[in-house]
C-alpha cells in the first residue's frame, strides 16, 4: 500500500523521485495527452501514450546548467540518505476507514519526535557530565522547539468524535501508546523511572536492552543535580548517591538550591538559564500529556483504553505529575 498513491508521481512526494521529478515537470510538463518529443524529459513514472517511445535516460538537451541532476546509477542520493521509500511504506493499515491513515502517521511522526528528543536529552546529559554547559543548554533549547513541533502534531487528532475513532479503534486490538518504548526513554530521562515499564518489552530483546540500560543510567535531572553540586551548591548527598533505577523523589534541600539560584539571577546567570531551559521542557511535556488527555476524552469519553487501563481517569493521574518538581515548587520561595 503506498502512502501517497493518490498524488501524481510528479508532485515531488517523497518516494516518487523527489526534487528531480518535480524540476523536470516544471520545465516540460508531460500529460497523458501531450505528445512526447525528444526534448521533453520523461521519467519512468510519467504517464506515457502508447505511440511515444520513451527511454529511461534524460536527453542531453535538457541538461541546462542550472537544472538539478536527473541521472543516477542507482537509487537517488536523497533516497540513500533519507530512506523515504522505507519511511513511506511503513503504513500498514488495518481497516478500510479513510481516517485510520492520519491516526497511524501521527503516531509514527510522534515516535520520530520522541527519538529526536531522547537524542537531545542524552546529548545534554553527557555535556553536563563533562561540564560543557553551553552544549547542554543548546541541546535543551533544540529539544524545546522539537517539543513544540511534537505538540503541534496533535492537531489532526485533537477533535476526533467517538464515531470517527470507533471506525478503526477495533483494528488497534490491544495496541496502545502505553507500549511506546521511546516514550518511556523520554520519561526515564526526565527522572520518571519504573522497572515495571520494561515488562511489556520482554519479547523484543533490542528494545528491552535499550530500555534497561536507560533505567539504570542517571537521568538528565540526576546529571543536572550532580553538575550543581560540582558548582558548589548544597545538593544533598541522598540526591547525588540515589539508586538511578528508582523514580526521582523531590527533596526540600534541592528545592532550596533552586530557590537560592532564582533569588539571585545576576550572580547565577548561567544556572538560571539552565533552570529556565529545563522549565520549558517540563512545561511542554506537561502540555503534551494534557493535549493527549483532552484528545482522548473527546474521542472515547470514559471508556476503557485499548491498553487495558481505565482510560481518561488513568491519564488524568499521569498528567498531574510535574516534571523536575523542585523547579516548580521553588518558585513559591523566591
Label residue 256 exposed, middle or buried (CB < 10 Å: 0-12, 13-18, 19+). Answer: middle
Q: How far is the CB of 293 from ligand HEM (least distance, A)?
A: 9
DSSP 203: T
User: Closest distance between ligand HEM and the C-beta of residue 192, in Å?
Assistant: 9
Residue 292, annotated as binding a ligand? yes
Cβ proximity to ligand HEM, 200 vs 218, nearer residue: 200
Other Cβ atoms less than 10 A from the Cβ of 165: the count is: 20
Say whether 306 counts as a known binding-site residue: yes
Would you say 62 or 97 has its CB closer to ligand HEM? 97
Please state, in angstroms and rounded to a whole number, the distance separating the CA atoms of residues 158 and 303. 17
Instruction: Return the sign of the alpha-carbon dihedral for residues 100, 105, 107, 108.
Output: positive
Cell digits for 224? 543536572
Q: What is the length of the chain?
A: 334
CA dist 37 and 41 (Å) reads 8
Which lies closer to ligand HEM via its Cβ, residue 266 or residue 302? 302
Residue 136 or 214 having the CB closest to ligand HEM: 214
Residue 32, sorted as left (phi over 0), alpha (psi -120 to 50) or beta, turns out to be alpha
Cβ proximity to ligand HEM, 179 vs 279, nearer residue? 179
Distance CA 53, CA 125 (A): 60
Min dist CB 146 to ligand HEM, Å, is: 14
Q: Are 296 and 176 in contact (CB under 8 A)?
A: no
How far is it, in rounded angstroms, from Cα 176 to Cα 314?
13
Minimum distance, C-beta of residue 107 to ligand HEM, in the bound complex (Å): 4
- Do 254 and 242 meet the contact criterion of CB atoms below 8 Å apart? no
Q: Specify the residue, 30 or 295, whose C-beta has the smaller distance to ligand HEM.
A: 295
Q: Which has the closest alpha carbon to 171: 102, 96, 251, 223?
A: 96
Binding site residues, ligand HEM, CB under 6 A: 106-107, 110-111, 157, 160, 176-178, 180, 183, 292, 295-296, 299-300, 305-309, 311, 314-315, 318
**In the complex, least distance from residue 292 CB atom to ligand HEM, rounded to whole angstroms:** 6
Q: Smallest distance, Å, CB 153 to ligand HEM?
A: 8
- Show binding-site residues for substrate: 169, 306
- Show binding-site residues: 169, 292, 306
- Show binding-site residues for heme: 292
Amino acid at each position: 500500500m503506498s502512502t501517497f498513491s493518490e498524488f501524481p508521481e510528479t508532485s515531488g512526494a517523497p518516494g516518487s523521485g523527489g526534487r528531480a521529478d518535480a524540476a523536470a515537470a516544471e520545465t516540460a510538463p508531460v500529460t497523458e495527452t501531450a505528445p512526447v518529443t525528444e526534448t521533453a524529459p520523461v521519467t519512468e513514472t510519467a504517464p506515457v501514450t502508447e505511440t511515444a517511445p520513451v527511454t529511461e535516460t534524460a536527453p542531453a538537451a535538457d541538461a541546462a546548467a542550472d537544472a538539478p541532476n536527473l541521472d543516477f546509477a542507482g537509487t537517488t542520493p536523497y533516497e540513500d540518505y533519507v530512506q523515504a521509500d522505507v519511511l513511506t511504506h511503513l503504513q500498514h493499515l488495518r481497516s478500510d476507514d479513510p481516517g485510520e491513515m492520519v491516526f497511524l502517521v501521527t503516531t509514527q511522526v510522534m515516535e520520530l519526535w520522541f527519538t529526536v528528543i531522547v537524542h537531545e536529552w542524552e546529548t545534554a546529559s553527557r555535556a553536563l557530565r563533562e561540564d560543557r554547559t553551553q552544549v547542554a543548554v543548546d541541546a535543551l533549547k533544540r529539544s524545546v522547539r522539537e517539543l513544540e513541533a511534537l505538540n503541534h502534531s496533535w492537531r489532526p487528532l485533537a477533535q476526533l468524535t467517538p464515531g470517527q475513532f470507533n471506525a478503526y479503534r477495533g483494528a488497534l486490538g490491544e495496541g496502545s501508546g502505553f507500549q511506546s518504548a521511546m516514550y518511556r526513554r523520554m520519561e526515564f530521562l526526565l527522572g520518571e523511572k519504573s522497572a515495571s515499564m520494561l515488562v511489556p518489552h520482554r519479547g523484543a530483546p533490542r528494545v528491552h536492552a535499550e530500555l534497561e540500560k536507560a533505567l539504570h543510567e542517571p537521568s538528565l535531572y540526576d546529571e543536572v543535580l550532580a553538575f550543581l553540586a560540582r558548582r558548589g551548591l548544597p545538593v544533598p548527598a541522598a540526591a547525588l548517591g540515589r539508586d538511578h533505577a528508582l523514580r526521582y523523589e523531590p527533596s526540600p534541600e534541592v528545592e532550596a538550591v533552586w530557590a537560592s539560584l532564582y533569588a539571585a539571577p545576576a550572580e547565577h546567570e548561567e544556572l538560571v538559564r539552565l533552570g529556565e531551559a529545563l522549565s520549558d521542557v517540563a512545561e511542554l511535556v506537561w502540555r503534551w500529556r494534557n493535549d493527549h488527555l483532552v484528545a482522548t476524552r473527546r474521542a472515547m469519553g470514559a471508556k476503557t483504553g485499548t491498553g487495558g487501563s481505565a482510560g481518561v481517569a488513568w491519564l488524568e493521574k499521569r498528567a498531574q505529575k510535574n516534571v523536575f518538581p523542585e523547579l516548580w515548587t521553588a518558585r513559591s520561595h523566591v
